[in-house]
Amino acid sequence: MAGSVRLGRRVTHHVEITTLPSWLVGQLGVDATDGMSVLDWLLTPQQRLLGVVAGAVYADDSGAVGNVRRALSWYPDQVWRWLLACQWHRLGQEEAFVARTAEVCDEVGSAVTAARLVRELMRLALLLERRYAPYQKWLGTAFARLPHPDNLPALLAEALHAPDVARRECALGGAYTALARRHNEACLTSPLEPTLSRYYEQPACVLMADRFNQACLATVTDPVLRSLPLVGAVDQVVDSPDVLSTPSCYRRLAGLYSDREI
């Protein structure tokens, strides 16, 4: 790191001399100039990929930086479909809990669950639009920049601020059906009914999101992906800023996907 002393204080210019492969290893944990394996994609948080493909490039005489940025601009199709399946699965696991917690008079639990689901819906919207999700500070900003012809932001805001479970569940239901329609418009799978229903005779009105999970999974033919549990990529599994911002930490999670080090 370059630096100099001025008036008794060290000045840091934030200029680093390095090679492209070394820089990529520092940013991602892998030298992506040689391509990325399926497991490399799963082990790299979206916020780190975004840090490589976004931002200004002031000189690239060889074109090497541009080549890497184009290669990393979005997931390979099979990885994308698998991540969508996992994201729908995350919704399916908790969508009934907004009402079920309220059944036992746990209003705080219901509100917290709704907030969790709002975050998952925002990340699903970004996935469907083929946009990498930034880290938490900028998630709302990135979501707001998406096209929203279906009033999705207002529905999610209503779910967050709803004073009772009935209005909370109604707003979330509208958000579920909006994203179900976006899924159908993406033509990733055969169209699915974007309708709500009771959750196995329980007093919860849900999308039954695992229908979309299963439809996405049916289009995944990659043998590595099909062999994995539906835990998702590393940033669908882990929520720790310290882990997701440190390649040496998140690369240690290779055991989630393989019984060997990568």
pLDDT tens, the chain, 262 aa long: 445 555 667 877 778 889 999 999 999 999 999 999 999 999 999 999 999 999 899 999 999 999 999 999 999 999 999 999 999 999 999 999 999 998 899 999 999 999 999 999 999 999 999 999 999 999 999 999 999 999 999 999 999 999 999 999 999 999 999 999 999 999 999 999 999 999 887 888 999 999 999 999 999 999 999 999 999 999 999 999 999 999 999 999 999 997 544 4
Angle in degrees, 0-180, between the axes of helices 77-94 and 107-128, rounded to the nearest 10: 160
Is the whole-model pTM more than 0.85?
Answer: yes
φ, ψ of residue 174 to 5 degrees: the values are -65, -40
Secondary structure (3-state) at 208: coil
For the chain, give the number of residues: 262
CB-count exposure of residue 101 (10 Å: 0-12, 13-18, 19+): buried
Domain ranges, ordered by start, for the chain = 3-73+235-256, 77-230
CB-count exposure of residue 115 (10 Å: 0-12, 13-18, 19+): middle
The residue with tokens 């970004």 is 126
**What is the spatial distance between Cα 196 and Cα 198, in angstroms, rounded to a whole number?**
7
Q: Do 192 and 212 form a contact (C-beta atoms < 8 A)?
A: yes
